[in-house]
Every structure is written in structure tokens, then in C-alpha cells.
A and B are shown apart, each in its own frame.
Chain A
Amino acid sequence: MIQLFHVSKWYQKEVAALQDINLHIPKGDFVFVTGASGAGKSTLLKLLFAEERPTNGQILVHGRNIARLPFSKIHTLRRETGIVFQDFKLLPNRNVFQNVALSLEVLSLPQREISRRVWLMLQRLGIQHKMRANPLTLSGGEQQRVAIARALVNDPVIFLADEPTGGLDHEASMKIMEVITDVNARGTTVLVATHNLEMVRSMGRRVIHLEGGRIAQGGAP
């Protein structure tokens, strides 16, 4: 469960990215976060994986107050959170398999276990035949699948995606959303920040709409 109480984020003294956000997202929910550029979508997501700290307010993730999480403990939150970005953030000097394996290497799992789980995840996302490929040689949709595979391979309880279909055509976008829907169906709480209102409408899920750093719609579940 994710709860935000009176959360604000100011970047300078004058620039408020988020103001007085109160939010409750039950475990296993699927939520779209929408809003124009600069509305605060990315900041909201960044607060949830402790990339940013709130200026005010409290953020509880499964009962743990991550607004006060010490730097040395952030990794524990990140290990329970799968994160996907519009620009994929894949390492060009590692192949697809190695990029996905990174999430399990940080857990210091045995290599055999890492190989098994990465293979299963690549299979689940239909990109096992690209496992030796350099990510830069893949299409945008394929790269996003690799990024999703990396985010999911350690079975996170929360899945955050910032514009996961940005830059993809409609068909590729829908395939990515199918994958994310499948993730949610397995019990993972999903938050997707997007501009793509057409896709949001077609999915029929809960929508939190942000305007100027405030919740304009969908704060309550």
C-alpha cells in the first residue's frame, strides 16, 4: 500500500513541483498518473523510489516512511520497486541478458539462479532470442521490454513506469501495456505516468490527474 500525506516538493524556494498531495493506492492497484508536462508526474514517481525527498509531508510504502529513509537504506526500497523510464536507461556496454541480470547481481544471488530467472523473464516478455544482442541494436519496443524485464526480474511489489510508451507507436505501446497489465494481474502494484490519454481511456483503470503540482482528480481510490 502506498500513502502520501500532505506531500510537497519544492525545487527552489519559488518552484513547487508538487503541493499538498494526499494519496492512497491500495496494494495490487493499477493507477495511471496523467497531466501536462511539468504537472509533477515524474516528481511523484521519483518520490516513490526515493530519487527525490519531499520538502514536506510523509510517504508510507507498505507502512515504512520513506520520506525519512536514510541514504544507506534506500537500496532496500529499490529492491522492492521495479522502475522503467521512457529513455529505457539500458547499458550499451552490456548485452540484453547482462542488462536484465543487473537487478539480480546486486542481490548477490548465485550465477546459476541469476541465469535461470533472467531466461524465464526474457521468455515471458518474448525477447529471449535477443538475449545476446546489444540493446542499441533493438527497436524502441524491444528496448522497453528489456527495461521492463530488468524491473520485474526480482519480483518487485511495486512497479513504477515513467512514460513507458513515449516514443513508441500505437501497436508497440499496446503490447507494452499488455505486459504491464500482466504484471499487475500477478499482484504487483502498478503506477504508470503518461501523456497518452487515448491509451489511458482504453485501459479503463484508475487515473490520478495532476495540474500544476496538485491532484485535480483521482486522489481517493
Chain B
Amino acid sequence: MSKLAASILRALSNLRQNWLISSITVGIISVCLFLVGGYLLLTHNLKQAVETFKTEVRLTVYLRDGFPQKDIDAFQDRMASMPEVHSVAFISKDQALEDLGAMLAGNQNLLEGLESNPLPASLRIIPSPEYRSIEGVNSILAAIGDDPLVEEIVYGKEWLDRLDKVLAILELGSIALGLALSLAAVFIISNTIKITVMARKDELEIMRLVGATEGFIRVPFLVEGILQGVAGAVLSLALLFGLFQILVQRTGPALLSTFRLDTLSFLPHPLIGLILLGGMVIGGLGSLASVGRHSR
């Protein structure tokens, strides 16, 4: 049997022998990672909700009257080929009037007095996803704003400004809070492991007295720490997933849709991986550091 396999077997046997303290450690790790995971889940879904708001970013380019259709077509083609632009749709003067009529359903007599169509033709632009921000819109404005065809460009400037600010705050807040929460989790978990190792300091002492090498002592502790960390992480994810399912089922789809949360989803795989890795690293390193502290 290889030394590593023997160390893993000893780690499993140690976990069995110290099952109570091991269970408490796993429990504390899972509570800490549950809080971190819950926070990640919240920010992940908030960001998704904001992303759905961003899909509604539109620009309407009102065109001057009197230009031939081929100029408008060429202008439209030029815009469609820009990387900033996802799609461009042409709304003719007639279409605009028709749309207005549809909007005024029941009050169409308001349009009866018109001698000519006062509405301009327009192009409706949907920016590419990465340009659905104030900077993105500005770069589109810079590219087409001076074109002689353009009478006016309208977009929800204030709304877009506000959305960008919310996004920036969310981004910064999520990093700061996430960091604080993770640090607290690392602190609590490493102290828990320190206590569990302290509880076994007699074992460490006796192993050294009978001639164990540091590797022989540390590797099983490292394996135990990793196993406890992973077990805690799996438990926290299972708990989080269960609660998430209950929340989604209890909250009606209509309510979710009202708050644009119909895209509610569980943590993506990279974040699940991050929590598992976090548990593994904190468990393993915490354990190793605590054993090291009991070396002479």
C-alpha cells in the first residue's frame, strides 16, 4: 500500500475515532460556507435581474425628411455592421403613424385633422450586450451622431445612468461584503480546526514520542482537514439548494416576474466549484497550520 493510501486510511480511521468533534467541525464549516454561498446566490441573481433590465436598452434615431431611401438603407447597413450594434430596424413615416394610431386606440379621431404625416422615419437600435451601458451607448452616439441623416437620437439617458450606478454599487458591494464574509468564515473555520487539533495534542505528542516523522503526522491531518472541508461545503450547498428550491416553489411565478426575477437560478458551476475548493483549501490548510503550531 502506498504511503498516501495509508495516510488516507489513517485519516478515515481518525475521523471515525473522533466522530463527534469531526461532526462539529463539519457542521461549523457548512454553516460558514452556507452563509458565503447564500450571499453569492443572492448577488448572482441580483446581477442576473439587472442584466435583464439592460436588455431593454434601446436607441431611436430619428431621420431627417427628404433623403432618398437608398441613403437610409446604406446608413442602416453601416450601423448593422458596427460591433456595438446588435440589430437595427427601420420604421418608416407611415409605420410610425400607424403605430401611433394603434397606441391611440379609441381616440384615432385625434389624427384625423392632419394634412400630412408629421412623424419622422426612424431606426430602432438594440446595442450588442456588452454595449448596453452608458459608455456603450456613447460610443454608438459618437459613431453616428454627426451623420446628416440624423435629426435626433433618443434613449433613456437618465434611466441608463441610474442603472449603471446601481450596477457599480452592486459590483463593489458584492466584492467588499463577499470578502468580509469570506474572511469571517476563514477565521471561524480555522479557529474551529485549531480547537479540534488542540483536543488531539496528546495524540500528536505521543506520535512524536514513538518516532513518527512530521509527514506521517501531518498528511493524515491534511487529509482529514480536506475531507471535513469538502463535507462541510457539500452539506452547505445541499442546504442552500434545498432552501432555494423551497423559495422558488413558494414564491409564485407572477410575483417573480413582477420583480424581473423569472430568471432566478441556482449558483452557476464555477461558484459551486469555488465553494467546494474553498472548503477544501480552508480545511486542509487550517488543519496543517494547526498541527504545525504544535510542532516544537
Contact = CB atoms under 8 A, between A and B. Distances in A.
Interface stretch (A70-78, A137-145, A173-181): A70-78
Nearest to A71: B296
A4 to B, nearest CB: 21
Contacts of B216: 106, 108
Interface in A60-74: 71-72, 74
A76 B210 CA distance: 10
Contacts of B202: 89, 91
A127 to B, nearest CB: 18
Contacts of A72: 213-214
Contact of A78 (B10, B208, B214, B295): B208
Q: Which of B211, B212, B216 has the most CB of A within 10 A?
A: B211
B205 A79 contact: no
A89 B211 contact: no
Contacts of A8: none
A75 B128 CA distance: 66
Interface string B207-224: 111111110100000000
A107 B216 CA distance: 9
B78 interface: no
Given A89-B202, A91-B203, A93-B17, A108 B3 contact: yes
Chain A, interface residues (CB within 8 Å), range: 20 to 34
B206 A78 contact: no
Interface in B1-59: 3, 6, 10, 17-18
A75 B3 contact: no
Interface in B199-254: 202-203, 205-214, 216
Given A71-B296, A75-B211, A103-B210, A94 B17 contact: yes
Contacts of B213: 72, 75, 106
Nearest to A103: B210
Contact of B209 (A49, A71, A94, A108): A49
Contacts of A49: 209
A105 B211 CA distance: 10
Contacts of B17: 93-94
A69 B210 CA distance: 17
A106 B18 contact: no
A79 B210 CA distance: 6
B117 to A, nearest CB: 91
A18 interface: no
B209 A78 contact: yes
Contacts of A79: 210-211
Q: Which of B207, B209, B210, B214 has the most CB of A within 10 A?
A: B210
Contacts of B209: 49, 51, 78, 83, 89
A150 B203 contact: no
Q: Which of A76, A91, A150 has the most CB of B within 10 A?
A: A91
B210 A78 contact: yes
A144 to B, nearest CB: 15
Nearest to B214: A72
A106 B18 CA distance: 20
Q: Which of A51, A105, A106 has the most CB of B within 10 A?
A: A106
A93 B199 CA distance: 12
Contacts of B295: 71
A102 B208 contact: no
Given A91-B206, A93-B17, A103 B211 contact: yes
A71 B214 CA distance: 10
Interface in A68-126: 71-72, 74-79, 81, 83, 89, 91, 93-94, 102-103, 105-108
B17 to A, nearest CB: 5
Interface of B: 3, 6, 10, 17-18, 202-203, 205-214, 216, 295-296
Interface of A: 49, 51, 71-72, 74-79, 81, 83, 89, 91, 93-94, 102-103, 105-108, 150, 154
16 contacts: A72-B214, A74-B208, A78-B208, A78-B211, A79-B210, A79-B211, A81-B211, A83-B210, A89-B205, A93-B203, A102-B210, A103-B210, A106-B211, A106-B213, A108-B6, A154-B211
